[in-house]
Structure 1
Amino acid sequence: MDEKRIAELRKFVNTITDPKISAFLDLKKLCQSGIYNLAVQMATDHAAKHHDFSYLDKILTLLEGTNHLSDFISSLRPKLNFVITDTKPRRIKKATPEQVAKAAKQALNKPVAIKSASTKPAKKKSETKVSLDLMDSRLILPGSYGTGRRR
C-alpha cells in the first residue's frame, strides 16, 4: 500500500474507534465492508513491521463484547504471534509461539457461557396491555354519543 492510502486507513481507524462516533456504528455492516478489511490489513502489517499493536488495540476495543471479535482474532492468528491480556482494557501483546500455543490451549479449556431460556427466571409477571383508545374507556355513558360500539 502507498503512504497516502495508509494515512487514510489510519485516519479511518481513529475515526471509527472514537467513542463519540462508535456508538452510532452498525458493527455488522462495518465488519463486512471492504475499507474495514483494508484497515485491519494495514494495522496487521504495521504491527508485524514495527511491533506496535496500537491500531489493533483500538479495533479490539471497538469489537469487545461482540460476536465479531472472534472473527477479528482468527484473521490475525496466521499473520502474527500475539496474546490478549486478561485485564481491562484488553490489549494485544507480542508473544512467542510457545505462549501462543499455551493461550490457545487455555482458551479451549475455558467453558463458554451460553445464554439460554433456562437461565431466565421461572415466573414472569404478565403485563396487562393498557389501551389508550377512548373507545375502550369505561367512562363513556351508555346511550350517549360514542358509546364504545365499533362498526
Structure 2
Amino acid sequence: MDEKKVAELRKFVITITDPKVSAFIDLRKLCQSGIYNLAVQMATEHAAKRHDFSYLEKILTLLDGSTHASGFIASLRPKLNFIVSDTKPRKFKKATPEQIAKAAKQAKSKPVAAQKTSPAVTKKVAKVEVSQDLLDSRLMLPGSYGTGRRR
C-alpha cells in the first residue's frame, strides 16, 4: 500500500475506536465493509513489519464482547504469531509456535458467542402468574356486571 492510503487507514482506525463514535457503529456492517478489511490488512502488515500491535489492539477493543471478535482473531492467526491476554483490555503478545497452538485449541473449545447468549436467555424466561380473581376469569356470564356489554 502507498503511504497516503496507509495514513488514511490509520485515521480511520483511530476514528472508529474513539469512544464518542464507537457507540453509534453497527459492528455487523462495519465488519462487512471494504474499508474495514483494508484497515485490518494495514494493521496486520504494520504488526508483521514493526512488531507493534497497537492498531490491532484498538480494533480488538472495538470488537471485544461481540461475535465478530473471534472471527477477527481467527483471521489473524495464519499471518501473525501472537496470543491474546485474558485481562481487560485485551492485548496482543508475541508468542512461540507452541503457545499459538495451545491458544488456537482453547479458542475452538469455548466459543465466545455461546457463552454470552446462554445467561441472557435464562433471564428472559419469566414465570407468568395466574390470577385467582373470579372477575378476571372466563367463567363470567355474558350480561353480568363488569363484562362491558349492554343488554
Considering the TM-score relative to the shorter chain, is it more than 0.5? Answer: yes
The 5-angstrom pairing of residues 90-109 of structure 1 reads 90-109=90-109
* Residue aligned with 2:62, SS: helix
Could you list the per-position Cα deviations for residues 25-83 of structure 1 after superposition, in whole angstroms to 9, with x for gaps in the alignment? Answer: 11111111000000000000000000000000000000001111111111101101110
Partner SS state of residue 80, structure 1 = coil
The alpha carbon displacement at 1:116 in A equals 7.2
Residue type at the aligned position of 1:106: Q
Where do 1:1-150 residues align within 5 Å? 1-110=1-110, 113=115, 114-115=117-118, 119-120=122-123, 121-124=125-128
- TM-score, length of structure 1 as denominator length: 0.76
Q: Give the structure 2 partner of residue 148 of structure 1.
A: none
Residues 110, 70 of structure 1: CA spacing in aligned structure 2 closer, same or farther, 3 A cutoff? closer
Runs of 4+ more than 6 Å apart: none
2:148 corresponding residue in structure 1:
none
Aligned residues: 128
- What is the identity, as a one-letter code, of the residue corresponding to 1:52? D
TM-score, with structure 2 as normaliser: 0.76
Aligned-pair distance for 1:117? 8.4
From the superposition, tell whether residues 110 and 32 of structure 1 become closer, same or farther in structure 2 (CA, over 3 Å): closer
C-alpha distance in 1, partners of 2:129/2:28? 34
Q: Distance in 1 between matches of 2:34 and 2:26?
A: 14
Larger mean CA deviation between 97-106 and 25-34 belongs to 97-106
Q: Give me the whole-angstrom Cα distance separating, in 1, the residues matched to 2:49 and 2:68.
A: 25
Equivalent-residue separation in structure 1 for 2:80 and 2:121 (angstroms) = 40
Which range moves more in the overlay, 113-122 or 68-77? Answer: 113-122
Q: In the alignment, which residue of structure 2 is the partner of 1:149?
A: none
Q: Distance in 2 between matches of 1:65 and 1:116?
A: 14
Change (3 A) 1:116 1:89: closer
Pair 1:125–1:64, CA change in 2 (3 A): farther
The amino acid that maps onto 2:127 is K
- Looking at structure 1, the residues matched to 129 and 110 of structure 2 have their Cα atoms a distance apart, in angstroms, of 35
SS state at 1:41 partner: helix
In terms of fraction of residues, the more helix-rich structure is: 2
Partners of 2:24 and 2:119 in 1: how far apart? 28
SS in 2 for 1:58: helix
